[in-house]
Structure formats: C-alpha cells, structure tokens
Structure 1
C-alpha cells in the first residue's frame, strides 16, 4: 500500500500544469552565479559545485527506485506546492537551491587543503558541520509539511542516515573534485558523474518509467 504523502507527491511528478513563472528568473540567477565563477576562472569552484549538484541526482534516483520497488514510499517525498516536480523527492526549487549551495560550499573552503580546524582536517569538519545544518533545515521543512518521511530509519527521531547518506556525500564529492590537482581529472570525473546520472534518468524515468 502506498503511503498517503508518497501518493500525493507521486501524482505531481512531471505534471506541467503547476508551472510558475518565478522559475525563469531563479534559473537565470543560478546561471549568472555560475557564469561569474567562469568569468573569474574559478574552475575548481565551478567543477566542484557541479559535482555537488550531480550528487543530488544520484540520491534522487535511488530514492525514486526505493519507492518503485517497495511499493510503499521513498525515503523522502515533496508533496507540497512546486512549479515543477522532477522526481518524487525533487522539485525544481530544490534542484536550483542545490546548484547554488554547491557554489557556496566550494567558496567557503580554505585555500590550504590540509589546514586543521579544531584539530580536524578542514574539509571533513566543514562537510560534517554543513551536513548537520542541512539536516536541521530538512527538519524544519518536514515540520511545515514541505518534505515528508515515511520510513522508520529515516526521520526526525533517527536523523543519522539523513546526515550520512543524504548530505555528507554531496560535500565530500564536491570537495574531492575541487581539490583535484589535475583539471583533466576534474573534468573527467564530473563528466562521468553527469553521464551516470543522465543514464539513470534515461533508463529508470524515460524508458522504464519507474521513477
């Protein structure tokens, strides 16, 4: 049996009738932010942010597959108002938000990769703290009904998986790409990640219609 909020979110997936014009200026602002990084030749920031954003695609694909195979619910769903729901747990507003968050996360990084803060490598500390802050925001979104959880291991009472699986990989992969010493390796990694997400969407959404 499908959980009520999951059914509500599933009914919204890729329904164009909810389109709102505010998406267009939001998209332009995101493109402007990325264009600014390119103009300043901050390629580490740009590529790290794209990797960060693509990790959300990875999460949303497995989340959609969880709903398909369980027949019950995804780990999270977005049953609330949105200009466009891309997948059961992802709307256009969230996607654009993660695109900007990736830029912010990369710009926050100290130049010294091995610098220790509070006795811990700055990358791991920032990833851990940033993920905690993201979980706090998600708790608020859940409280107002914009984001829903149905599984006993993924909720406000057990937030550890949300922290570890839901957000840490975004920051870890983004920082990893940002810090790569070779531009060719950065581009190859981001291209591979993008191809994997695109293939997953093509197969599971476009061909099979599972997500």
Structure 2
C-alpha cells in the first residue's frame, strides 16, 4: 500500500504543469557560480562541486528505486509545492541547492589537506560537521512538512543514518576529488560519476519507468 505522502509526491514527478519561471534565474545563478570558479581556473573547485551534486543524484536514484520496489514510500519525498519535481525525492530547487553547496564545500576547505583541527584531519572533520548541519536542515524541513519521511529507519529516531548515508558521502567524495593532484584524474572520476548517473536515469527512468 502506497503511503499517504508518496501518492501526491509521485503525481508531481516531471509534471510540467507546475512550472514556474523562477527556475530560469536560479539556473543562471548556478551557471554564474560555476563560471566564476572556472574563470579563476579553480578546476578542482568546479569538479568537486559537480562531484558533490552528482552524489546527490546517486542518492535520489536509489530513493526512487526504494519506492518502486517497496510499493510503499521512498525514504524521503517532496509532496508539496515546487516549480518542477525531477524524482520523487528531488525537486529542481533542491538540485540547484546541492550544485551550489558543492562549491561551498570545496571553497571552504583549508589549503593544507593535512591540517588537523582538534587532532582530526580537517577534511574528515569538515565532512562530519557539515553533514550534521545538513541533517539539522533536513529535520527542520521535515518538521514543516516540506520533506516527508515514512520509513522507521529514516527519521528523527535514527538521524545518524541520514548523516551517514544522506550527506557524509557527498562531502567525502567532493573533498577527495578536490584534493586529487591530477586534473585528468579529477575529470575521469567526475565523468565516470556522470556517466553512471546518466545511464541509471536513462534505464530506470526513461526505459523502465521505475523512478
């Protein structure tokens, strides 16, 4: 049986009747943000930002698959207002937000990748702290009904799981890409991520209609 929140969320997926024009200036702001980093030739920041954004797509794909195979609900859904819902737990506003957050994650890194803060490597500490902050925001979004949880393992009783799976990998992968010393390797990793996401969307979404 489909959860009460999942049914309206499913109806919104790729429903263009809810389109709002503010998507266009938001898109331009994202392009501008990446363009600023590219013009400064901060390719590690650009690629780290893209890696962060793509990691969210990985999560959103398995979230959609969870809904398809369970027939109950995704781990999270966005059943309320949006200019365009891409997947059952991902609207266009969230996607743009993660694209910008990836740049923030990379730009706030200390130059010294080996620097320790309170005895902890700064990359791991920042990944952990930033993920906690993200969980706090998600808890608030759930509180106001903008983001809905239905599964007992993915809610306020187990925030560590949201932290561990929902956000920590985003920062870890973004920092990993950022710190690579080879631009070619950075491009290869991000391209592989993009290819995997694209194939999954094409197969599970376009061909099979599962997400």
Normalized against structure 1, the TM-score is what? 0.99
Q: Which runs of 5+ in 1 are unaligned?
A: none
Q: Give, in whole Å, the separation in 2 of the partners of 1:158 and 1:193.
A: 28
Separation in structure 2 between the aligned mates of residue 195 and residue 146 of structure 1, nearest angstrom: 30
Is there any run of 5+ residues in structure 2 with no aligned partner, and where? none
Determine if the alignment matches structure 1 residue 62 to structure 2 residue 66.
no
1:15-164 to 2 correspondence within 5 Å?
15-164=15-164
Aligned mates of 2:7, 2:176 — CA distance in 1: 37
Distance of 1:113 and 1:44 partners within structure 2: 13
TM-score by length of 2: 0.99
- 1:103-131, CA deviations, whole angstroms, 9 ceiling, x for partnerless residues? 00100000000000111000000000000
1:157 CA drift (Å): 1.6
Whole-Å separation in 2 of the counterparts to 1:94 and 1:49: 14
CA displacement at 1:70 relative to structure 2: 0.3
Listed one character per residue, the Cα deviations across residues 35-56 of structure 1 (whole Å, up to 9, x for unaligned) are 0000000001000000000000
Counterpart Cα distance in 1 of 2:80 and 2:138: 14
Structure 1: which 4+ aligned runs deviate by more than 6 Å?
none
User: Partners in 1 of 2:144 and 2:174 — Cα distance?
Assistant: 29
* Equivalence for 1:192: 192
Match of 1:7 in 2: 7
